[in-house]
Amino acid sequence: MKTWSISAGRIFGVELRIHVTFLILLAFIWVTEWPDQGLAGGGRGLALVGIVFAAVMLHELGHALAALQAGVAIDAILLLPLGGIAITDGSALSPGRPAAPAASTRLGLLGWRSREIRIALAGPLLSLAAGGFAAVMILAVAPEIRLWERPFLTSSNLLRALVWANLGVGLLNLLPAYPLDAGHVLRALLARRLEFARATRRAVFVGQIAAMLLMLGGFLLLARDRTSGMWLVMTGVFLSMAAQLEERTLIFHSVLQNVRLEDVMLTDFSTLSPADTLEDALAKAVHTLQDDFPVVRGSDMVGIVSRHRIVDALRADGNAYVQSVMTRVFDVAARGESLASIFRRITSQGLTIVPVVEQGRLVGIVTLQNLTHSMGLLAESRRLRQAERELDL
């Protein structure tokens, strides 16, 4: 998420991040507007991207408010030109939506489906309401804007673009193509007879088909209406990218829930003794890639110390013993815990290392670096196995 996005602050305690696809949108608008407006189109193109961004923000605000009312906590939202992807409890989930119910009781499933549908429809309703309100105001004050004249989204008429950016986001998300909002409604309906992961994969497949149809329709339209055709192609491209991102999110979430720490923990690691001097500890740190070290006395773990803490202490006070700088309060985990559990603890508490113990004995460690690396490899492995199964079918 952070690799392909930049932070845009917080709203209602929810972090907002802008996906790099907005840069693709900016480049697309610049290229399409350049032949008609030249250099002057640059600033107006940037303004048009701002209008689209504001429309997406308003759309996601509808989801966030509906989620808040439904008691679903959202930590962050990743904004794309078609909508957003919510991040909750350290796990990437669908745009503004709750996770699937932990218990498969009929009441739990009904409650989840109801929340899924309510939250999914809140975004399009707010977008359509905003676009309709803007249209009424513009028609009353400036009827010469000609709202129904093509192209609908153009930097040469930003007021018309304001109306159609909101209407477009709202109408587009009523397509039953995952990860669009109506696609989430489709997923909720499919989950009546399929398990959650399979229902999501079916909805993603529908989304990919819809993306290809949009791109094909755009190419066919290019000869008659170049601007509208290009917008249709770009919409298909963005939808395809979003569907792929959601598919990877599903696989990543599956890894978090189903893989145990014993499958990914580091068993070959270095430890320090509280009686080691800081100079000796630094000499040991030179020969390992670890940034954090368990401090062990006999068979008991008594603390944690980081490479940076050792260096800082040596610079400030000179040589001393590890026990004088180690952290004596630390979290531990059991080898049978899921990655989801430990990932939430690491991200929420800012931990960099979690020792894994069995019957009071240190048997492994988990660091944020090795956890992220292992989850990426496991997710890719599951994606490849899933692709092989689909080819066999």
Range with the lowest mean pLDDT among 47-56, 66-75, 89-98?
89-98
d(CA 195, CA 41): 49
Average pLDDT over the chain, rounded to whole?
Answer: 79
CATH level 3 topology of 262-376: CBS-domain (3.10.580)
**Looking at the predicted structure, is the pLDDT value of residue 34 above 70?**
no
pLDDT at 97: 39
Cα distance between the two ends of the chain: 32
Give the global pTM. Answer: 0.64
Q: How confident is the model at residue 380 (pLDDT cuts 50, 70, 90)?
A: low
- pLDDT for 40: 56
Residue 383 in this model has a pLDDT that exceeds 70: no
Residue whose token pair is 């000609």: 146
What's the order of all strands across the beta sheet hosting 76-80?
Answer: 5-11, 14-19, 76-80, 83-88, 91-92
How far does CA 246 lie from the centroid of its chain?
8
The 10s digit of each residue's pLDDT in 187-246 is: 888 888 887 778 888 888 888 899 999 999 989 888 887 777 888 888 888 888 888 777
Q: Which residues are bridge partners to 266 per DSSP?
A: 365
Mean pLDDT is lowest, of 85-89, 166-170, 240-244, 363-367, for: 85-89
pLDDT at 92 over 70: no
pLDDT at 212: 92
| Domains of the chain by residue range | 5-258, 262-376
Which of 144, 137, 159, 163 shows the shortest CA–CA distance to 58?
Answer: 163
- Residue 359, burial from CB neighbour count under 10 angstroms (0-12, 13-18, 19+): exposed
Identify the band that residue 279 occupies on the pLDDT scale cut at 50, 70 and 90: very high
Q: For 313-342, what is each residue's pLDDT tens digit?
A: 999 989 999 999 998 888 888 888 887 777
